[in-house]
Amino acid sequence: MKPIMEIDNAVKTIYNDNENLNILDGINLKIYPGDFIVVLGTNGAGKSTLLDAITGANQLSSGKILLNDEDITNKNLAKRSQFISRVYQDPKLGTSPRMTVAENLLLAQRRGLPRRLRLRHLKENLPKFEDFTSDLPTLDNRLNTFTEKLSGGQRQTLSFLMAIIQKPELLLLDEHTAALDPQTSQELMDLTDKVIKEKNLTSLMVTHNLSEAVKYGNRLIVLKKGQIILDLDTEAKAKLKEKDLLEYF
């Protein structure tokens, strides 16, 4: 099976305290269709920097990133957004507060398409959006609610729906449940797992949560000081216990 994405010797260097520091230090990673990879690591391990490099929010100092065999290393954030979606930790990121839930979904539905003046066709899309949110008690019957009026959990659920409304080549989840209360976090995590499996999405999920790292996904990688020090496949991950991961922290 050919990988969807291949990261080849990725290095990201910054100048810090009078010395060069490699936040990413020779990352090599192949992501295959249907992979749900959990990315674990301490603060400063390079997790968010890795996601920034994949999306184009932060350019690599050296190395290459291939998407379906195409070199996207120097493509900007806008170009990559046609194929790559990201959900951030902060529920306020990724949604427009003064637009309704339906308007946000409509905006996400046009991600990556040419921008020009045109009719919105919001009413025509409402039945689709109603069906899209019908199984979600947090957003059902809230299509006309302004996003700024939503709770953090509702807003983060909306961010997730916006990220997958066009099936992306790669879905990036950047600690997307970390800012939520335990119950809401679990509900969103259950939804995430269900959608990824049903839609056969390819995803990378960053987390600090050891129980999530053990429970979810078919692969697990551990980052430390900008390097992948552990990459477990499905079989090895199935045998993993939380206590096994503590040594890496």
Rounded mean pLDDT for each run of 10 residues along the chain, 249 residues in total: 95 84 94 96 90 94 96 92 92 88 89 56 83 80 91 92 93 93 91 94 94 93 94 90 81
pTM across the whole model: 0.91
pLDDT value of residue 242: 85
10 and 70 part of one domain: yes
How far apart CA 223 and CA 239 sit, in angstroms, is 20
107 and 47 part of one domain: no
- Nearest residue to 28 (alpha-carbon basis) of 54, 59, 63, 73: 63
Residue 20 lies in a domain: yes
pLDDT value of residue 241: 85
pLDDT value of residue 129: 87
> How many folded domains does the chain comprise?
2
77 and 100 part of one domain: no
118 and 184 part of one domain: no
- Nearest residue to 107 (alpha-carbon basis) of 136, 75, 85, 91: 85
How far apart CA 113 and CA 235 sit, in angstroms, is 40
Is 124 exposed, middle or buried (CB count within 10 Å of its CB: 0-12, 13-18, 19+)?
A: exposed
17 and 123 part of one domain: no
pLDDT value of residue 137: 73
pLDDT value of residue 119: 47
Cβ atoms 11, 21 nearer than 8 A: no
Cβ atoms 220, 240 nearer than 8 A: yes
108 and 227 part of one domain: no
pLDDT value of residue 117: 43
Residue 160 lies in a domain: no
77 and 174 part of one domain: yes
Range of the domain at 25: 5-83+168-246
176 and 64 part of one domain: yes
Cβ atoms 47, 105 nearer than 8 A: no
DSSP 17: T
pLDDT value of residue 246: 82
